[in-house]
């Protein structure tokens, strides 16, 4: 929801950063790889009980993920960049979930359920994007939903910073993922008939 409706409020710093990186010779794919390396370190930092650093690198990677998309749209980057971007995003999320699971093994069952819901949600999201004739600003049809990447980062932040409530926050995240998946399935049913 926030990715779709609040992006306009943060687009200016994203564009400034994208233009500056393009000016010094970075490509969108290079920034995608940088965002991935930074983001994946979040799970390691969680495991070693460095929650503030974990949250910092998670959000920095998320910002760079928005920057690389703007760079790609400005330079007409290939579909390979889209594939890298989407797959690296999931690996960053997996890193956070694994870091939390190994740091707090008592919450592993809830984190496993969340992982399953993310896998299914992304399957629906990507399949609809691939099958739809509709196109948007991105290189495929982007279905808006209640839980998008920014909501995920907010919930991951709460999970990292409030481990006492990890199971409750994880179950809230799970509920939002399931709700968003159902929302997207209903839209897909109308769109793909």
Token pair 């809830």 is at which residue? 110
Spell out the domains of the chain, with CATH numbers in brackets.
2-191 (1.20.120.1760)
Tokens read off for 135: 């196109």
For position 94, what pLDDT does the model report? 97
For position 20, what pLDDT does the model report? 96
pLDDT per residue of the chain (193 residues) written in tens, 0 to 9: 666 656 777 889 999 999 999 999 999 999 999 999 999 999 999 999 999 999 999 999 999 999 998 999 888 777 888 889 999 999 999 999 999 999 999 999 999 999 999 999 999 888 888 887 766 555 566 667 778 889 999 999 999 999 999 999 999 999 999 999 999 898 888 888 7
For position 58, what pLDDT does the model report? 98
For position 107, what pLDDT does the model report? 98
């Amino acid at each position: 929801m926030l990715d779709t409706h609040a992006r306009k409020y943060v687009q200016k710093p994203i564009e400034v950063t994208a233009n500056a990186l393009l000016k010094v010779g970075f490509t969108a794919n290079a920034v995608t790889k940088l965002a991935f390396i930074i983001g994946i370190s979040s799970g390691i930092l969680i495991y070693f009980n460095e929650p503030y650093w974990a949250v910092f690198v998670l959000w920095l990677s998320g910002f760079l993920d928005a920057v690389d998309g703007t760079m790609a749209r400005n330079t007409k980057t290939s579909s390979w960049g889209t594939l890298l971007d989407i797959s690296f995003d999931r690996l960053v999320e997996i890193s956070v979930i694994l870091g939390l699971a190994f740091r707090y093994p008592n919450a592993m069952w809830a984190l496993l359920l969340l992982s399953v819901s993310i896998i299914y949600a992304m399957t629906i999201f990507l399949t609809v994007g691939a099958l739809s004739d509709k196109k948007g600003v991105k290189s495929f049809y982007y279905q808006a939903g209640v839980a998008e990447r920014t909501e995920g980062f907010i919930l991951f932040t709460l999970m990292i910073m409030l481990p006492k409530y990890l199971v409750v926050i994880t179950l809230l995240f799970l509920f939002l993922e399931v709700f968003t998946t159902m929302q997207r399935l209903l839209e897909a049913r109308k769109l793909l008939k």
